[in-house]
Structure 1
Amino acid sequence: MTGQMEPVSILSLATETPPHVLSQAEALDAARGLIGRNFGDFERLSTVYANAGVQFRQLAMPVDWYRSPRTLQERAAVYLAVALDLFVTAAARALAEAGLRAEDVDAIVTVSSTGIATPSLEARAMAHLPFRSDVARVPVFGLGCAGGVTGLALAGKLARAAPGSTVLFVTVELCSLALRTNNADKADIVSTALFGDGAAACVVRGGVDGFAQLCGAAEKTWNATLDIMGWQAEPTGLGVVLNRAIPAFARREMRQAMAEMLAPQGFGIADVDRFIFHPGGAKVVDAVEGALSLGEGSLATERAVLRDHGNMSAPTALFVLDRCRKAGLMPLTVLSALGPGFTTSSLTLRCPA
């Protein structure tokens, strides 16, 4: 899906993390006790903790909670409680920054793939924030790491389709709830070295009065790539699917994909002043930097977010966008992420000087 959009603006952006901070050294120690005893090759693979580019991440629960086997029901209960709290906090902060009230919101786009909530999170949030009873609800599941970009693009399209409307976009992911201690494999070791929990929210509305205009959106999904990234249903919850070939795939495919996404908008790679990427991991950041021939260190902000928070799935790209906007966005910026599908999603942003 590729399209040119009439400008709508991002009025505000808020990011949130849960309060339980885990250092990478503590993550390795915990994983050694939880996974190492059942995985004979753990010590050889444990170098991933030093190479992941992560120093800290924030978790939905204290680390001791993860030391005991958890049922699907227990994980679901934590997801509902913590994800709702992060949703409400991030949404309230985004609305306050935009100078708006919950009653001003016409539509809510919610993106989350790490838990199941029916009724969905925005419906549950109505008990805490006074959204109107006629607010349009658009919950989206299954986008994974690409969800922050794809969800924000969807919010922009809804705002464009109904001129004058205000759209709230919220994404919440609690990746830590997918921790498996039994039957763990290499993907589980990588995930415990890489993933954290977090949320982000944006307010989007037509016009040019925000910090960035959403002027184009595109996606590309590759054929026969369903096994690269995603979830598999298990008796105790969601088990991670994470292919080690992702960095090589990104290095090989991202340049052509980006050129294809930008061309219908009248741009080439060289026209973009700044690419902002979802930092899926240290090797993925390196691969994207190389694929687009960006200068070494061009994605330093991405690496800093990965260092401080880990890969939080969908919200992570918005954490990077938030840091970039505080430092000053470049005039033509492209926000992009890779996610299950296997899909890359991009948003073209026009930013005032």
Structure 2
Amino acid sequence: MAVLCCPAVSVPEHTITMEDTLHLAERLHGNHDQLPLALKLISSTGVRTRHLIQPLERTLRHPGVEERTKVYVREAQARIPTVVDEALNNAGLAAADIDAIVFVSCTGFTMPSLTAWMINELGFRHDTCQIPIAQLGCAAGGAAFNRAQDFCASHAGSNVLVVACEFCSLCYQPDDLDVGNLLSNGLFGDAIAAAVVKSHSTHGLRLEANGSRLVPDTEDWISYAVKDTGFHFRLDRRVPHTMEQLAPALRDVAATHGWNASALDFYVIHAGGPRILDDLSHFLGVPPDLFSFSRATLTHRGNIASAVVLDVLRRVITSETLRPGHRGIIAGFGPGITAEISVGTWLGDDRTLDGEASASGTEQPLTSTPERSATA
């Protein structure tokens, strides 16, 4: 049975607050006829701080898709190694022990995948299986765990590394005045996260079952419009209401293992926005405080796309609230509308957390260069 180890999470050093975001929107879009609505939507997210891989003044410029891709690759290669090293250390493994790498990202595109660079530069074996996932958006974090679990089930004794690299700020479109796009400018943040799934371990989260669900006829509710200027995020106002349809999917996956999804010990839920968490709590019949770790990620990181579930899981594990035998569920939601769901049992933790921050979101950001920028 596959066991998921504690994730490593890193956020960039540049930050922007909710207040900064609102002031910026007013300054840049003061004549927009729907600005009051956009400001209301941004304020309702509850996001206090987000992290950016570039200083704000660079983030607001659009130098073209080619230059943004160069930034994506440069920053990813500068930041991934430290996060991967921590994830391997959490699992008690070396790079040579990894049999497959699941790499997920929806905010930059390269071919070959950055898995090839990781294998060549970070000490992984040349026969390491590459499993890049690029088009599941925020759901890809949950999908990565599920594909890692499936790989371990079909390859006895194997170990899988999951890496989520999301630089949402590189999708900023200064001339896109769609309200959904304006909302995304105040919701999404940047982060890199990694975790190891082992075929066998006496410590970590034992993954018991997984499943995927698609809400019919919702393909255009969360999407990218691909234009000359790159990816333009599209978000339909009906998205939060899909939780009424997805709550039964969580129940079904838990039921395959004989569990009641409304009566588990912990919940690792994609923090796409406060309405998603509120509605899922209601339709699943779960007290809102059991989603507190997801809300903490949303508050301190914003929506960091596929990296959300890794960040939430880390908060749960480092909170010291888990006890061996505790049962929980992981759910990532994204375009499609797609849900990627898994359930698991906490076995215990033998990691040394010297110097690590608690689940409050206060860990130090990873810096790739000496450059600093004051908060905008």
Same fold (TM over 0.5): yes
Q: How many residues align?
A: 345
Give yes or no for contact 1:86–1:198 (8 Å, CA) kept in 2: no
Give 3-state SS (helix, strand or coil) of 2:3's partner. strand
Matched, 1:244 2:237: yes
Structure-1 residue corresponding to 2:301: 309
| Alpha-carbon separation, structure 1, partners of 2:202 and 2:143 | 22
Give 3-state SS (helix, strand or coil) of 1:266's partner. coil
Deviation per CA, 1:203-261, whole angstroms, max 9, x where unpaired?
111123231111110111121110111212011110101111122221x2133222222
Match of 1:349 among 344, 348, 366: 344
| Alpha-carbon separation, structure 2, partners of 1:350 and 1:296 | 21
Give yes or no for contact 2:6–2:317 (8 Å, CA) kept in 1: no
Deviation per CA, 1:68-105, whole angstroms, max 9, x where unpaired?
23311122111111223332221111112222221221
| Alpha-carbon separation, structure 2, partners of 1:213 and 1:223 | 31
Give 3-state SS (helix, strand or coil) of 1:87's partner. helix
| Alpha-carbon separation, structure 2, partners of 1:73 and 1:29 | 30
Match of 2:180 among 181, 187, 192: 187
Matched, 1:46 2:39: yes
Structure 1 window deviating more from structure 2 (232-241 vs 321-330): it is: 321-330
| Alpha-carbon separation, structure 2, partners of 1:11 and 1:285 | 25
Structure 2 CA distance for partners of 1:263 and 1:44, relative to 1, 3 Å: closer
Structure 2 CA distance for partners of 1:31 and 1:100, relative to 1, 3 Å: same
Residue identity in the other structure for 2:23: D
Give yes or no for contact 2:188–2:302 (8 Å, CA) kept in 1: yes
Q: CA deviation at 1:180?
A: 1.2
Matched, 1:15 2:9: yes
Structure 1 window deviating more from structure 2 (257-266 vs 135-144): it is: 257-266
Matched, 1:259 2:251: yes
Give 3-state SS (helix, strand or coil) of 1:12's partner. coil
Give yes or no for contact 2:210–2:343 (8 Å, CA) kept in 1: yes
Matched, 1:283 2:275: yes
Residue identity in the other structure for 1:217: N
Structure-2 residue corresponding to 1:319: 311
Q: CA deviation at 1:147?
A: 0.9
Provide structure 1 residue ranges, at least 5 long, that are not aligned to the other structure: 1-6
| Alpha-carbon separation, structure 2, partners of 1:141 and 1:130 | 24
Per the normalisation by structure 2, the TM-score is: 0.87
| Alpha-carbon separation, structure 2, partners of 1:202 and 1:126 | 16
| Alpha-carbon separation, structure 2, partners of 1:293 and 1:102 | 42
User: Percent same amino acid at aligned positions?
Assistant: 28
Deviation per CA, 1:139-176, whole angstroms, max 9, x where unpaired?
11111111111101111111221111121111111111
Matched, 1:273 2:239: no
Give yes or no for contact 2:222–2:236 (8 Å, CA) kept in 1: yes
Structure 1 window deviating more from structure 2 (145-154 vs 322-331): it is: 322-331
Structure 1 window deviating more from structure 2 (209-218 vs 25-34): it is: 25-34
Structure 2 CA distance for partners of 1:33 and 1:124, relative to 1, 3 Å: farther
Q: CA deviation at 1:350?
A: 0.8
Per the normalisation by structure 1, the TM-score is: 0.93
| Alpha-carbon separation, structure 1, partners of 2:333 and 2:275 | 13
Give yes or no for contact 1:279–1:302 (8 Å, CA) kept in 2: yes
Deviation per CA, 1:1-52, whole angstroms, max 9, x where unpaired?
xxxxxx1112331111111111111122233334x15633213421223211
Structure 1 stretches of 4+ moved >6 Å: none
Structure 2 CA distance for partners of 1:85 and 1:38, relative to 1, 3 Å: farther
Structure 2 CA distance for partners of 1:283 and 1:96, relative to 1, 3 Å: same
Q: What's the C-alpha RMSD, in Å, of the aligned pairs?
A: 1.7
Residue identity in the other structure for 1:348: V
| Alpha-carbon separation, structure 2, partners of 1:178 and 1:237 | 7
Deviation per CA, 1:302-337, whole angstroms, max 9, x where unpaired?
111111000000011111111111123361100112
Give yes or no for contact 1:90–1:201 (8 Å, CA) kept in 2: yes
Matched, 1:91 2:84: yes
Match of 1:339 among 330, 334, 343: 334
Residue identity in the other structure for 1:243: D
Q: CA deviation at 1:127?
A: 4.5
Deviation per CA, 1:167-209, whole angstroms, max 9, x where unpaired?
1111111111111111320111110111001121111111232
Matched, 1:118 2:111: yes
Equivalent positions of 1:33-182 (< 5 A) are 33-34=27-28, 36-37=29-30, 39-182=32-175
Give yes or no for contact 2:221–2:335 (8 Å, CA) kept in 1: yes
